[in-house]
Chain A
Amino acid sequence: EPEVTQTPSHQVTQMGQEVILRCVPISNHLYFYWYRQILGQKVEFLVSFYNNEISEKSEIFDDQFSVERPDGSNFTLKIRSTKLEDSAMYFCAPITQGNTEAFFGQGTRLTVV
């Protein structure tokens, strides 16, 4: 199973602050998905990303969210002005070229206080 690294593993931030969550790719990662899971709830799709463009996004992924892959390195999810309800686990799930299954990272636990 291809290894996917997410950083940080846990982040505590104050409401209204910006946070950047990172997913460290392997070279042949093709598509990226971001998901979130609020404690005790379902895993929810946020956005899919390919070739430096958003492929699909959910209604959760509003103007407060953005994704990018700066310089072809880390794949990032940014939340511009965090709200209490953004507290959740955030998972990155890339798909490698030639495969069809997504392998999820261990996630970043975001706590907004």
Chain B
Amino acid sequence: DAKTTQPTSMDCAEGRAANLPCNHSTISGNEYVYWYRQIHSQGPQYIIHGLKNNETNEMASLIITEDRKSSTLILPHATLRDTAVYYCIVRVVGNYGQNFVFGPGTRLSVLP
């Protein structure tokens, strides 16, 4: 079972920041937080991952709380193409045999 909980759905206005929360209260010290998204029935798309420091790339920012029990994915300027299901996953880095466990995710709808 997934070790994360996320809201079922969220709406965001186009051009505004989308903030997607994730709870992972049982995360272990060697587990990273990964975010993927899935648009329609396409393959899940990697967005970002981090351990404890905040991370930023060209797609998004990841804010992890100091106790690491929760995190927030931020899409700074949401567009209609960001409408997708967003998955928050915790996984041990380096343990390649360990798979990515997908929960139901958050369905983000970006509204015009």
Contact = CB atoms under 8 A, between A and B. Distances in A.
Interface of A: 1, 4, 30-31, 33, 35, 37, 39, 42-45, 48, 50, 55-56, 58, 89, 91, 93, 95, 100-107, 109
A106 B4 CA distance: 25
Given A48-B98, A107-B42, 13 more contacts: A1-B45, A30-B96, A43-B44, A45-B100, A45-B101, A45-B102, A48-B97, A56-B97, A56-B98, A101-B49, A104-B43, A104-B45, A104-B46
A42 B42 contact: no
Contacts of B80: none
A109 B41 CA distance: 9
Secondary structure at the B interface, as helix, strand, loop or mixed, is: loop
Interface of B: 32, 34, 36, 38, 41-46, 49, 87, 93-94, 96-104
Given A100-B94, A101-B34, A107-B41, A45 B99 contact: yes
B43 A101 contact: no
A30 B101 CA distance: 19
